[in-house]
């Protein structure tokens, strides 16, 4: 069975470390065929730490790469060839042989270019103190340009045709320059050389590839960012130009004629809620930010500060609801309650007018009403959390509390950053049976190192 991994928060919950564990199959278990990326682009930051101390922040490569699992960048990905080359170099330096040989790219995937990134940064600078918290890497510009000029948007397949790519890059540069002024990006010829190198080193595939891949064995679909940043369901305008729910993966499965329910839907949460940059974080507690250090997350030039708060049950319930439900949870940072005795779960808020709010209302009809999402943002920005209730320091009481709060079983527990710090849970549930490979241990680690 395939697995879809989605972050139920604002990102940074630990998708990468969960995918790494799913791909590290024990002897005798059916190996994972590939990791399929189905949303976002080079702005993803999925941290994986190996048992021997190697660390990599996965952006476009799948987080199963250390286990030798191939990556497929689907048509829904936004592919940045320059960032991809830098990521491949880092992986090679960590001992991954020929990383680009592990990669297939759908020809239809949109390309993110230096012109998109420069335009993104120009717009964010112009917002001044009203910045949205963009990563500054051109993701939104890539999506917006493709919507405005679908026939002229550069794709991965164009990288194999210097003539066509030159035409599209020149149009892109000129249009953005006319709108925003000089962009400070490299000349078109320099981009052509870099993108041609990309096309020569990766395997470009068409729409027939993914259906064949899905028939070969289990695949892990690795999502980017978090549901609470979703382009339609997130709290506008502090959102991403990407669908961050299970929808993209389900769309790809349907296109490949896979039956409904062919993949297990795994939602990732931390024991505390975090956010990178501005926007609602009702349960924010500066004391948590100070006492739970993040070795791989910090202040970003474009995103802003990394913030932490108590587990936000209403926000995560909202994420589960707009996703259409989950089959199970992967809970990371289960070592945190033992390191911070005051860590707890917030089950409700009080709004600015003093009224209680235990549920964030989801749109009753189809998504897309950004005015509605803006009004919801305004409410959340002024809401105040109820007192956090601590389940205690025992991780088992935490998994029980989170199961109750989100009405889903905990199928994976994480007590630290490495694969060895992950255990499978879920008892005898059908979802657990689908997820847990034969031979996997199913108990808490004897030690609980700091991390994910």
Point out the residues that are catalytic: 12, 46
Tokens of 397: 């009481």
Please tell me the distance from the alpha carbon of residue 149 to that of residue 168, in angstroms, as a whole number: 10
Is 333 annotated as a binding-site member? yes
Is 335 annotated as a binding-site member? yes
Is 365 annotated as a binding-site member? no
Please tell me the distance from the alpha carbon of residue 29 to that of residue 22, in angstroms, as a whole number: 11
Is 415 annotated as a binding-site member? yes
Strand, helix or coil at 113? coil
Please tell me the distance from the alpha carbon of residue 44 to that of residue 21, in angstroms, as a whole number: 18
Q: Report yes or no: 337 and 271 within 8 Å, Cβ to Cβ.
A: yes
Question: In DSSP terms, which residues pair with 332 in a beta bridge?
Answer: 270
Main-chain dihedrals φ then ψ at residue 55, nearest 5 degrees: -130, 135
Quote the DSSP letter at residue 304: B
Is the Cα torsion angle 81, 82, 85, 91 positive or negative in sign? negative
Tokens of 191: 């981009």
Is the Cα torsion angle 53, 44, 435, 312 positive or negative in sign? positive
Q: Report yes or no: 154 and 192 within 8 Å, Cβ to Cβ.
A: no
Is 82 annotated as a binding-site member? no
Main-chain dihedrals φ then ψ at residue 325, nearest 5 degrees: 95, 160
Is 12 annotated as a binding-site member? yes
Question: Helix, strand, coil shares of the chain as percentages rounded to 5?
Answer: 35, 20, 45
Main-chain dihedrals φ then ψ at residue 400, nearest 5 degrees: -65, -45
Strand, helix or coil at 129? helix
Tokens 């994986």, residue? 48
- Burial class for 363, CB neighbours closer than 10 Å (0-12, 13-18, 19+): middle
Please tell me the distance from the alpha carbon of residue 339 to that of residue 335, in angstroms, as a whole number: 7
Strand, helix or coil at 164? helix
Please tell me the distance from the alpha carbon of residue 131 to that of residue 16, in angstroms, as a whole number: 27
Q: CA 290 → CA 98, 133, 297, 337, 346, distances in Å?
A: 40, 21, 13, 15, 19
Query: In the chain, how many H helices and how many E strands?
Result: 14, 20
Is 225 annotated as a binding-site member? yes
Is 171 annotated as a binding-site member? no
List, as residue ranges, the binding site for IMP.
Answer: 225, 240
List, as residue ranges, the binding site for Mg(2+).
Answer: 12
List, as residue ranges, the binding site for GTP.
Answer: 333-335, 414-416
List, as residue ranges, the binding site.
Answer: 12, 225, 240, 333-335, 414-416
């Amino acid at each position: 069975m395939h697995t879809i991994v989605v972050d139920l928060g604002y990102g940074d919950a630990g998708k990468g470390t969960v995918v790494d564990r799913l791909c590290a199959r024990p002897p005798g278990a059916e190996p994972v065929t590939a990791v399929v990326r189905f949303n976002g682009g080079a702005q993803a930051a999925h941290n994986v730490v190996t048992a021997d101390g190697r660390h990599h922040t996965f952006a476009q490569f799948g987080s199963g790469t250390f286990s030798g699992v191939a990556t497929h960048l689907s048509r829904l990905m936004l592919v940045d060839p320059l960032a991809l080359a830098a990521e491949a170099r880092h992986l090679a330096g960590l001992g991954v042989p020929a990383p680009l040989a592990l990669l297939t790219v759908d020809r239809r995937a949109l390309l993110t270019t230096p012109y998109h990134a420069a335009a993104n940064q120009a717009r964010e600078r112009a917002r001044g103190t009203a910045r949205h918290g963009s990563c500054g890497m051109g993701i939104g510009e890539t999506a917006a340009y493709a919507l405005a000029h679908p026939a002229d948007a550069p794709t991965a397949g164009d990288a194999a045709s210097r003539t066509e790519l030159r035409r599209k890059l020149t149009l892109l540069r000129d249009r953005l320059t006319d709108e925003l002024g000089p962009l400070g990006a490299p000349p078109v010829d320099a981009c052509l050389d870099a993108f041609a190198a990309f096309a020569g080193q990766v395997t470009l595939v068409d729409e027939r590839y993914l259906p064949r891949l899905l028939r070969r064995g289990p695949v892990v679909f690795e999502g980017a960012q978090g549901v609470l940043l979703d382009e339609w369901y997130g709290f506008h305008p502090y959102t991403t130009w990407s669908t961050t729910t299970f929808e993209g993966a389900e769309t790809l499965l349907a296109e490949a004629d896979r039956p409904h329910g062919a993949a297990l839907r795994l939602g990732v949460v931390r024991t505390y809620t975090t956010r990178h940059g501005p926007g609602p974080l009702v349960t924010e507690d500066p004391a948590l930010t100070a006492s739970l250090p993040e070795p791989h997350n910090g202040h970003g030039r474009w995103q802003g500060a990394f913030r932490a708060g108590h587990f936000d049950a209403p926000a995560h319930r909202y994420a589960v609801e707009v996703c259409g439900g989950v089959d199970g949870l992967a809970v990371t940072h289960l070592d945190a309650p033992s390191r911070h005795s005051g860590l707890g779960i917030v089950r409700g808020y009080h709004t600015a007018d003093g009224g209680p709010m235990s549920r964030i209302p989801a749109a009753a009809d189809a998504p897309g009403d950004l005015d509605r999402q803006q009004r919801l943002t305004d409410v959340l920005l002024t809401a105040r959390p109820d007192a956090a209730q601590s389940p205690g320091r025992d991780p088992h009481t935490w998994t029980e509390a989170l199961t109750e709060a989100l009405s889903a079983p905990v199928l994976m527990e994480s007590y630290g950053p490495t694969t060895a710090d992950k255990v499978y849970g879920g008892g005898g549930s059908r979802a657990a049976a689908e997820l847990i490979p034969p031979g996997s241990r199913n108990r808490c680690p004897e030690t609980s190192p700091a991390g994910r």
